[in-house]
Structures are given as C-alpha cells and as structure tokens.
A and B are shown apart, each in its own frame.
Chain A
Amino acid sequence: MEGNKVVNFLRKYMMLIATVVVILVFYFLTGGKSLLPQNINNVISQNAYVFVLGTGMLLCILTGGNIDLSVGSVVCLAGGVGAIILEKNLPWPIAVVAMLVMGLLVGLWHGFWIAYVKVPPFIATLVGMLAFRGLANIIMGGYAYQVSDPAYLSIFGGGDNCYVPDFLAGIGPATEFNKTCMVMAVLIAAGYAVFTFINRTRLIKKGYKVDSLVSQIIKTVLIVAVVIWIGYKLANYKGIPTVLIWIALVLGVFAYITTKTTLGRNLYAVGGNAKATRLSGIDTRKVMFSAYTLMGVLSGFAGVLNIARLMGSQPTYGLGYEMDAIAACFIGGASAYGGTGSIGGVIIGAALMGIINQGMVIANTPPNYQTVVKGIVLVLAVFFDVIMQMRRKGSKKKNANAVENGGAKA
C-alpha cells in the first residue's frame, strides 16, 4: 500500500516535478539568467498562444483523442483579417469581433463536417490547415500588414506598453517596483488560500471526503508561494502583462466549463465511451460540434493576441502552432484516446514547453537542436504516463479484489 501511495503521488505530480527540475536545470545552465524578471515576463507573453490553443485542443482531445491540425492556419487567417481592418484605421473592437467571428465560422465549418458528416477529424482539419492557410494568403495578397493602433496593442499584449498601469505608483516611496502587480499577487494568493479553506470546511460540514489537512496545507502553501513569487518577479520588471489577464480569463472560463457544466461532462463521457454516452440520451454529434466550434473561436482569439504581440500579420504566421498546442495537452497528461485530461494539465504542459524554449534560447542552443529537445520531452511525458497507467492497472486489479473480498466479509 505504501508503494502504491508513492506511485499515485508520482503519477499525479510527475509533470509538476519535471517542471521544477527543468526550471532548476536552466537556472544553472544560464547562470541564473532564465529567472530574471524580464525573462519570466517573456515566457508568459511569448507562449500566450500555446495556453489559448492548448485549451481548445484539450476539448477536441477529450472527445476521443481527436486533434485539430488547422489551428495554426486559422490563427494566420483571423490575424490577417484583423490586421487588414486595423490598417484601414477602423476602430479596434471591430477588428476583434471580426477575428472572433472568423474563428467561429471556421469552427462551425469543421464541426459540421466532423460531427454531422462524420469525416474523420484528422482529415477534416488537415483540409482546413491547407485551405485556411491559402485563404489567408489570398486575403493578404502575400503582403505583410502592420498593426500600430496603440490602444489595441496595449490591451492585447503587444508593443512596449502592454502592461496594466500601476495605479498605486503614487503611494509610498517612488520606485521602479510595480506596486499594483505585487498587491494583486498577494490578494490573489490570499483569496485562493481563504477560498480553499472555506470550501474545505463546507465540504466537511456536508460530510464529504476531503484531502488530509497536511496535504491540503502543503498544496495551498506551494500555490500561494508560486503566485507571490511570479508577482514579485513581474513587479520588478514592468508589472502585469495585459496578455496574462487574457490567458487567465480563457483558462478560468474553460476550467469552469470542463468541470462544472453539462457540456464539459459530455466531452469527457464521449471520449470515455461514446456508445454508452449515446445510449444515455446525449447527442454525441452536438458534443463533437461544440468542441470544434469552441476550438475555432479560441483559434480566432489566439489570432487576436498573435497580431498584437508581433505588431502585424504575415502569411507565414502561426506555422506549427497546432503542434505546440497538441504537445501541451499530451505533456499535461491528456489521454491520446480521450476521456481524461484537464485545464490544469494544459497549464503545466504549456508552461513546461515555454520554459524549455526560453531556456534553450538563453543558453544559446542551436535552433535545430531545440526542436529535437522538444520532441524528446514529449515522448518522455507520454512514456511516463504510459508506465504510470500500467502500474495503476496492476494495483487496480488488487483494488477490485479488495473491494470484492471486503464485501464478502461484510
């Protein structure tokens, strides 16, 4: 049983431990440079698209290991549309809405073919990958467009001034240190801790099973420490990047959808056993349709963030983004057969990929080696997942027997 506990612990936190190890490795390899405030800021801004697209990809993968290959092209297409609108000096909200609608249309298109015509997702989205890339080229006429609307850039995380303004700068001694950012981090951390323990007492009162107090405290302290640490680092640079707010918003909304709504529940059920789900009176076609529609909207939104960060749009933007998103999901523990995976996993997967990318750039790793390393990380992640699954199956048999025997005695 003790051995089991260790295995369970490792299984649950394997990728978290790996992330910490990777951070430490790069810390020493780069002589501490990788954890400079500016670099932490960059990891977040540069990988915003991985968080957003990974979230959408998770929905698709949950339905049975289905992927969407078109997201890179859709990011480019939506971005192109947005950049053209912005170039014409139209108000930026029009551009944002246009990009989201573009994504939505693509999502509906894929959803229709996949859910209702039953075209295999791989093929349907491969078509999308080719066609939407081409369409983006056609729309942009092969040219690059500049985005220079200052309001747009600062709201969606591009240019020099894309940080939440320091409202509290006037209070106390005047320093470079961003007080708003620090205060926010402390508030979030405190709020999290308080919420956790209020929830815990509520659950205990209702007689539900909860984690042991010690493990709950350790977990909370760790999360609080990480939030405050990141807040401190960011405060030492320029404050909260606006893009972080968008990432948090997307992750928060979809964490809620996947865990607390019927749609989320249905995504897991379809991936776990599509036949049983259909026979439970759930329209599995609608579930598939929703997954790909949401993926489309999120691709559109990734386009919004992308042209802000790159301050323009080019026909080659978004190449290979689909692979980063897929990798983030699998590194984060989503099953390639569907039915398991979580937004928490996507966060870890995307962060791990981002940290490795950034670390290698700072450590001057030649670019060709960088992709090799990313590949190895992915295969290791899946490998660990597979052995942990096998271990668990072994112990599962014992469990089933134990339940059976316990029952016989009772």
Chain B
Amino acid sequence: MAKVLLEMKSITKTFPGVKALDNVNLRVEEGEIHALVGENGAGKSTLMNVLSGIYPFGTYEGDIVYDGEVCEFHKIKDSEKKGIVIIHQELALIPYMTIGENMFLGNEQGKKYNIDWNKTYAEADKYLAMVGLTESSKTLIKDIGTGKQQLVEIAKALAKHAKLLILDEPTSSLNETDSRALLDLMKKLKSEGMTMIIISHKLNEVSYVADHITVVRDGSTIETLDAKTDDISEARIIKGMVGREITDRFPKRHDCEIGDVMMEVKNWTVFHPEFSERKVVDDVSINVRKGEVVGIYGLMGAGRTELAMSIFGRSYGIGISGSLILKGEELTLKNPRQAIKAGIAYVTEDRKGNGLVLSNSIKVNTSLANLDALSSGSFIDKDKEYLVAEEYVQKLKTKTPSVEQLVGNLSGGNQQKVLLAKWMFADPDVLILDEPTRGIDVGAKYEIYCIINDLAKAGKSVIMISSELPEVIGMSDRIYIMNQAKIVGEMKASDATQENIMACIVKSGSEA
C-alpha cells in the first residue's frame, strides 16, 4: 500500500447555527488523484478551506496529519509552505497583468525592493512548459482563453512547489476540449509524482481521472470508493451523493388549487454580458400556473439565475430574445421597476450582495421595494412603515429584538425572512425564489417551506430555483431540469426521483 500523504481525522466545523462538517475523515495517498464529490453545500469546499488554513487552526475540531506530522495551519501561507496549494473555482488571476506577474504575485522573485524580472519570466516560462502552454509569460492574462487561464493557475501552483494540489471545480468554466486537456494534464502530473484532490460535479470526469472517490453528504463523509476494486459508475456515485432518506422534511400543501397559466416564457435566449457570444440561456420555454410551485433544478452555472434575472426586467444579460406573457398579455419589461409593477418579484440567491442593505434596519429593508405604497407624494408615512415591518416580522416569525435592528446583525435564516418579507410586501403575482434556503439551518428551512406553501395557497405563482434535489422534489408541483443553458427535462413532482433527475442531466451532458 502506498504511503498516506494526508489524513484528516474527525474534522468538525460549526458556523453559528449550522454544523457544516460533522466528524469528517479523509485519507489521501501519495501520488494519487483523489476525488471529492457531493451536492452543493455538502461541505466539500468547507473541508478544503479547513485544510488550506482559510479557516485557521482552532476554529474547527479534529486533526490534520500531513506527511506524517500533525499540522496547525493559521493562514494560507502556512499550508502553502508545506506544499498544499488550492486552486479555487473562480479564477484568481488579474486580467491586466502578464502571466509571469500573476504567477509570482505574492511570491516575487528577487528582492522585495528590487524585483528580478528576468528571473521571474524565465521561471514562469519553465512552469508554463510543464503544463504544456507555449504562450510567452509576458502575455496579458486577458488575452488568453479561460482554458489556458486554468492551466496558468496550475502552473502558478507548481511555482509554489506544490506537493498536494487541490482543484475546486477546475472544469466548471471550460468547454469539452479544454476540460479533457486539463484532465490529461492531471494524469501527466500524477505520473510525475504529484498528489491531487479534485472537487467536481461532473461525474464522468471524476470516473476518468480518480483513483479514489470520497462522497460527502450533509457535512459527513459517506464512503470512499476505490477505482480499482469498486464499481465507480456514475449511477453508483449518484446513489452515494443523494442517498439520504426523505422523511418529513417538507410540509404538505393541502387545499391548494392550481389555476390558469399565470406567466409564460417562450423561446427565451440570453447572452452573457461580457462574453457576448456565449449563450447563458438557450431557447428556454417555461410556464407557471396560479397557485402552483414550479421547481427549476440544475447545478450551479446551469443558467438558472441568469434565466430568472433576465425575466425580472432584464436585470441580467444582453441580446435577450423571446416572449414573456403575463396573465395572457405579452409584455416587454425594460427594468426591475416595470417588472415589479407588472407583478413579478425576484428573490435573489445572493441576499447580502443583491438583496439586502445590511447597514439599514429591518424596517427600511422591508419597505424598500414598495415605498410608494407607504408614501404620499414622496413623503414616507413612518408609522405605517413601522406597522408593516412589525406585521411581517410576526407573520414570518423573524427572530429579532425589534424592527429597528440592522439586518447585518441577523443570522442567515432571519435575513432570508426579511428578504422574503420585502418581496411579499411588494405584493407580486409571480415570485421567483432563487435558492431560498441556501446557507440556512434545517429549522429555518422548514419555516421557509411553510411560507412558500402559504404563498401558493394565497394564489401566488411560485418559481423555486434550487440545487438541492430533495427540496425540489419535496416542494414542487412540477419540475423543470436545466443544464448548460437549456431546459433538458420537465416532470411532475410525483414522477420525479433523485435518480431520474440526475440521469436527465448526465444524459444531456454527454450529448453536448
């Protein structure tokens, strides 16, 4: 048996209110490619952040044994010194710097006050050759494609004398050819003795490169499969990923009548605002009825948020084409204001970035999208505003000392309720909820589900975007499945199982 390079023992990491990792164990042998798979939010990235020192020693429980010794990493530099280098999902390269400058950023060659540029570029060229790039290291990052940028990231890691390389979703932004090139590079590095951990959603890639596959689910390691001895077919891995039992996690909707079609989107196509040839939504047609909850399932980057935001007054994307029919009437919505007026609300997945003004109170956030209802002319009726905020705090059971509390002081679940309150107060007919339970604990999730049910009962149409399979199946009446910018399947919730939804995605992925 090969030497064990890394062993993470009984790692437990808690965030306020959430246990992100619960007694996780991971063994990585020297010179292997070890894959870490699991649903979004299962805890893969958290585990890697613990390993690389982003969550410093002392903020978690358990031991990291690396190269035979117990390690205490207080910051990223500590783990990098030992040769553990992580390459994050989002590229961390600066577009207007050269490849060489990027590669040695924070690790400059020569002296601090006298950078040796000749050495920098010579070294950079050497590492570029190792990853099979022929570009000069003096090329600006913005001038090479994403596939090559990813390779530069790896070269950068090699320049740090990496012994253990962690790649978080390295192919998520790459096309098929670039992905294959990257995976082959990984195999080549392995043959030269490098140890790697790859986190990926793309199970065909995992089966292609991995020697061992560890499945993470709900913050725990479920099993480790050996490529030589175990069955590592995609179906087998999926079973491990989604195998949790669905009990009573979702409240039932009773006496909820599904009525006529409320909103319909036909042949909707959207292009990326920066890379204007790239279609982020491709010929999508969906509809939602009165009193219905429609789920849109897809992995991150499938185009779900882009679809939702482009419907919501073209707040994302360019070159939008297709028709939007609301209550039987075809509409052109130019901005969020018109969308809100027409009766559409979009509850963002990014509540801190796009949803709430953290430096303002619950009261002010609740009224933000519908201040007109509270003011005559442009003068705000502050008494009414207070009462409205109070009303929603009670209705949604938001835990707070008062409505004057700053939203930044609330926990994630309570922030989500304030965000919902804001859009419920805007009184829309169609609510698009984007990942409404992301990053909140199980109890608060249940309460959010109850709110969704109440909305449907009140005759609202709800579109729920989610990357959690059980949630989509448990909450929806009907499910659309989205992958690579297209709707690749539609099914009644009663017919849906986790396996056949996943199969839908895998099938469409292999066709592409």
Which residues of A approach B to under 8 Å, CB–CB?
206, 208-209, 260-263, 265, 268-269, 272-273, 275-283, 335, 339-340, 396, 399-401, 403-404, 406-408, 410
Contact status B380-A403, CB under 8 Å? no
CA distance A407 to B404 in the complex (A): 18
Contact status B336-A279, CB under 8 Å? yes
When the two chains form the complex, which single residue of B340, B354, B364 contacts A275, counting CB atoms closer than 8 Å?
B354
CA distance A379 to B382 in the complex (A): 36
Contact status A265-B371, CB under 8 Å? yes
Contact status A400-B348, CB under 8 Å? no
Contact status B408-A269, CB under 8 Å? no
Contact status A262-B369, CB under 8 Å? no
CA distance A275 to B355 in the complex (A): 8
Is the C-beta of B48 less than 8 angstroms from some C-beta in chain A? no
Which residues of A sit under 8 angstroms from B401, Cβ to Cβ?
Answer: 403
CA distance A335 to B358 in the complex (A): 14
Contact status B410-A400, CB under 8 Å? yes
When the two chains form the complex, which single residue of A281, A396, A410 contacts B339, counting CB atoms closer than 8 Å?
A281
Closest to B350 in A: A275
Is the C-beta of B233 less than 8 angstroms from some C-beta in chain A? no
Which residues of A sit under 8 angstroms from B409, Cβ to Cβ?
Answer: 396, 399-400, 403
Is the C-beta of B175 less than 8 angstroms from some C-beta in chain A? no
Contact status B364-A265, CB under 8 Å? yes
When the two chains form the complex, which single residue of A277, A396, A408 contacts B368, counting CB atoms closer than 8 Å?
A277
Contact status A282-B380, CB under 8 Å? no
CA distance A282 to B335 in the complex (A): 9
Contact status A404-B16, CB under 8 Å? yes
Which residues of A sit under 8 angstroms from B375, Cβ to Cβ?
Answer: 261-262
Which residues of B sit under 8 angstroms from A335, Cβ to Cβ?
Answer: 359
Which residues of B sit under 8 angstroms from A283, Cβ to Cβ?
Answer: 335, 337
Contact status A277-B357, CB under 8 Å? yes
8 A-B pairs besides A275-B353, A276-B357, A399-B409 with CB distance below 8 A are A260-B380, A262-B375, A277-B368, A279-B315, A279-B354, A281-B336, A283-B337, A407-B414
Which residues of A sit under 8 angstroms from B287, Cβ to Cβ?
Answer: none
* A and B contact pairs by CB, cutoff 8 A, 6 listed: A268-B364, A276-B356, A279-B312, A281-B341, A339-B359, A400-B410
Which residues of A sit under 8 angstroms from B380, Cβ to Cβ?
Answer: 260-262, 265
Which residues of A sit under 8 angstroms from B404, Cβ to Cβ?
Answer: 209
CA distance A35 to B312 in the complex (A): 60
Which residues of B, 7-43, contact A by the 8 Å Cβ criterion? 16-17
Which residues of B approach A to under 8 Å, CB–CB?
16-17, 312-313, 315, 335-337, 339-341, 346, 348, 353-360, 364, 368-369, 371-372, 375, 378-380, 382-383, 386, 399-402, 404, 408-411, 414, 422, 426, 443
Which residues of A sit under 8 angstroms from B348, Cβ to Cβ?
Answer: 276, 279
Closest to B399 in A: A407
Contact status A261-B379, CB under 8 Å? yes
When the two chains form the complex, which single residue of B360, B369, B371 contacts A272, counting CB atoms closer than 8 Å?
B360
Which residues of A sit under 8 angstroms from B383, Cβ to Cβ?
Answer: 206
When the two chains form the complex, which single residue of B315, B341, B378 contacts A278, counting CB atoms closer than 8 Å?
B315
Is the contact region of chain A dominated by helix, strand, or loop, or is it mixed? Answer: helix
Is the contact region of chain B dominated by helix, strand, or loop, or is it mixed? Answer: mixed
CA distance A281 to B314 in the complex (A): 12
CA distance A396 to B355 in the complex (A): 20
Which residues of B sit under 8 angstroms from A206, Cβ to Cβ?
Answer: 383
CA distance A282 to B372 in the complex (A): 11
When the two chains form the complex, which single residue of B353, B369, B400 contacts A281, counting CB atoms closer than 8 Å?
B369
CA distance A407 to B312 in the complex (A): 34
Which residues of A sit under 8 angstroms from B379, Cβ to Cβ?
Answer: 260-262
Contact status A403-B378, CB under 8 Å? no
When the two chains form the complex, which single residue of B17, B346, B357 contacts A269, counting CB atoms closer than 8 Å?
B357
CA distance A410 to B444 in the complex (A): 13
Which residues of B sit under 8 angstroms from A408, Cβ to Cβ?
Answer: 17, 443
Which residues of B sit under 8 angstroms from A404, Cβ to Cβ?
Answer: 16-17, 399, 411
Which residues of B sit under 8 angstroms from A403, Cβ to Cβ?
Answer: 399-401, 409-411, 414
**Min CB gap A215→B, angstroms:** 16
**Min CB gap B414→A, angstroms:** 7
CA distance A404 to B15 in the complex (A): 11
**Min CB gap A107→B, angstroms:** 18
Contact status B356-A273, CB under 8 Å? yes
Contact status A396-B400, CB under 8 Å? no
Contact status B378-A263, CB under 8 Å? yes
Contact status A262-B378, CB under 8 Å? yes
**Min CB gap A279→B, angstroms:** 5
Closest to B408 in A: A396
Closest to B312 in A: A279
Which residues of A sit under 8 angstroms from B378, Cβ to Cβ?
Answer: 261-263
CA distance A60 to B383 in the complex (A): 28
When the two chains form the complex, which single residue of A261, A262, A272, A279 contacts B359, counting CB atoms closer than 8 Å?
A272
Contact status B356-A281, CB under 8 Å? no
Which residues of B sit under 8 angstroms from A399, Cβ to Cβ?
Answer: 409
5 tightest A-B CB contacts, nearest first? A272-B357, A281-B337, A407-B399, A281-B340, A280-B369
**Min CB gap B378→A, angstroms:** 5
Contact status A262-B410, CB under 8 Å? no
CA distance A282 to B409 in the complex (A): 24
When the two chains form the complex, which single residue of B402, B422, B426, B443 contacts A209, counting CB atoms closer than 8 Å?
B402
Contact status A401-B336, CB under 8 Å? no
Instruction: Given A275-B353, A277-B357, A400-B16, answer yes or no on A282-B399 (Cβ-Cβ < 8 Å).
Output: no
CA distance A399 to B407 in the complex (A): 12
Contact status B315-A400, CB under 8 Å? no
Instruction: Given A261-B378, A262-B378, A273-B357, answer yes or no on A280-B336 (Cβ-Cβ < 8 Å).
Output: yes
Contact status B336-A278, CB under 8 Å? yes
Which residues of B sit under 8 angstroms from A396, Cβ to Cβ?
Answer: 408-409
Which residues of A sit under 8 angstroms from B356, Cβ to Cβ?
Answer: 273, 276
Closest to B406 in A: A396
Which residues of B sit under 8 angstroms from A407, Cβ to Cβ?
Answer: 399, 411, 414
When the two chains form the complex, which single residue of B360, B372, B408 contacts A268, counting CB atoms closer than 8 Å?
B360
Q: Which of B315, B354, B357, B411 has the most CB of A within 10 A?
A: B357
Which residues of B sit under 8 angstroms from A406, Cβ to Cβ?
Answer: 399
**Min CB gap A290→B, angstroms:** 10
Contact status B355-A279, CB under 8 Å? yes
CA distance A293 to B227 in the complex (A): 68
When the two chains form the complex, which single residue of B355, B386, B410 contacts A276, counting CB atoms closer than 8 Å?
B355
Which residues of A sit under 8 angstroms from B364, Cβ to Cβ?
Answer: 265, 268-269
Q: Which of B335, B340, B401, B409 has the most CB of A within 10 A?
A: B409
Contact status A273-B358, CB under 8 Å? yes
Instruction: Given A265-B380, A268-B360, answer yes or no on A208-B386 (Cβ-Cβ < 8 Å).
Output: yes
